[in-house]
Amino acid sequence: MLSPRPTSETVFVQSHSRTVVAQTEQSASPNLELTQSELIEVFRLKYGNPDQFGPNPRLWARFGYFGPNEYYEATVAKLVKARTRWLDVGCGRHLFPWNPNLADNLALRCSLLVGLDPDANVEDNRWVHERVRAILDDYRPEQHFDLVTLRMVAEHLTDPQAVVASLKRLTIPGGRVVIYTVHKWSPAALLAWLVPFRLHHVAKKLLWKTDERDTFPVAYKMNTRRNLARVFSKGGFREISFAGLADCLLFARFRALHLLELWLWRTLRFARLDYPDRCLLGVYERQE
């Protein structure tokens, strides 16, 4: 585990050979476990060195907190190799919205990066090598992919079995699918489920300054570990890595409330209890 009381300097000098344990439930394939250095690297690519940190990164470093985005980014970075053929489903305008430097690096590293999205936002994505405006079921390329990523997409899908069938058709045997999504029973997700869709953007803009064209209806049909494992198992995949990640960023724009979030996270972590707001990060491997 990470030290419960690291200073900002401690976070960046801890042994780089240690394995980071996800902040809630997890089971991981040894070759996909993230090291401290891998998380630090994506953190540095976003925020620079400690003397360059803004107020929030300095606060996160002080608490030893890596957010769900860092875990997702570090996981994808670990999977992308020079020969990787990568499909990003529901990519929109960005590869990693909060880490363009990492997006630059990985777009150059892989052999092929295709962005697939039915929305016109995909036309503004500068990182993908190919842009395809289509739904997953209609996409029938000649090549198959080693890696498929779905970043904050699963919560919008209404037919999980059809989605997984398409993912199997598009991946090679041994290919990996990375699902990064919200947990169905997180307070923020429950609120999104209960609040009329026309009000979603109002709340998102207040909390995170999001653009209205990045707001879509939610379905939450795949948003528990059990649901993901069941639909992927039926579709010919096996879970090789999974983590539930504490999402302490609901009030990141409001320093006093954000500080309370982080103290609550630290207290619950000390008591070995899950933080209520969580994201899910699963990696699924296609079987023969």
Half-sphere exposure of 274 (CA within 13 A, CB side): 15
Residue 22's pLDDT is 42
Residue 265's pLDDT is 96
Residue 232's pLDDT is 98
Q: How far apart are CA 17 and CA 221, in angstroms?
A: 38
Half-sphere exposure of 133 (CA within 13 A, CB side): 8
Side by side, the strands of the sheet bearing 130-132 are 26-28, 237-246, 278-286, 171-182, 145-151, 85-89, 112-116, 130-132
Q: How far apart are CA 172 and CA 170, in angstroms?
A: 7
pLDDT per 10-residue tile (average), the chain, 288 residues: 38 36 44 90 95 94 96 98 97 95 98 96 96 96 96 94 97 98 84 59 48 64 95 97 94 91 96 94 96
Residue 211's pLDDT is 53
Residue 25's pLDDT is 45
Q: How far apart are CA 254 and CA 207, in angstroms?
A: 9
For residue 151, what are the contacts with CB-CB under 8 A and spacing of at least 6?
Answer: 72, 88, 90, 91, 96, 180
Residue 212 CB-density burial (10 A; 0-12 exposed, 13-18 middle, 19+ buried): exposed
Residue 185's pLDDT is 87
Residue 173's pLDDT is 97
Pairing of strands 278-286, 237-246: antiparallel
